[in-house]
Structures are given as structure tokens and as C-alpha cells.
Amino acid sequence: DDPMVISIEVDNCLVRKTLVDQGSLVDILYWKTFKQLGIPEQELTSYHEPLVGFSGKKVDSRGTINLYTCFGTEREG
């Protein structure tokens, strides 16, 4: 299975080279990308547990957020 990489619009901002991974429990948004979206940091909900990758490496997160995304063309009506 080849990885699927797409461009998507998130909160009216085009995000290129987005990896579609249906096997992940979380989706990672790099801090630089988050800042480019123009979302206030106050929108983040604190999350104090580390994320653990396949190799066992632990990574801290800055928090969680639910973002509206639209794939394809939004239907009217």
C-alpha cells in the first residue's frame, strides 16, 4: 500500500502534503502549520500525556483541538 498524500483546506487555509493515515489514533499538526492557520492558542485544550510513536519515542504536545475540514465540494441546501 502506497501512502496517500493530498492537499486539503482546513479552516479556509490550504495545507499541502497532508498524509492520509487511517491507522493512526491521533493526527499531528505541526506548530508552524497551526500558527499559519491563524487560530488563537486559546482554542487549544490542554493535554498533559505524551504521545508515543511506533518506535516507543515519546513526544509532548501543546494540546488538542477539533478542526472543521471539508474534503471535496460542500453541497448547498
pLDDT in tens, 52-62: 887 899 989 99
Return all residues near 26 (Cβ < 8 A) that are at least 6 apart: 51
pTM: 0.59
Beta strands 69-70 and 58-59, pairing class: unpaired
Q: What is the pLDDT of residues 5-52, one digit of tens each?
A: 888 777 777 888 877 776 777 778 888 888 888 889 999 999 999 988
Maximal CA-CA distance, the chain? 47
76 in any annotated domain? no
75 in any annotated domain? no
Cα angle for residues 65, 22, 68 (degrees, 5° grid): 30
Number of domains in the chain: 1
Tell me which residue range forms the domain holding 32.
Answer: 4-70
Q: Which three cell numbers stand for residue 62?
A: 501543546
40 in any annotated domain? yes
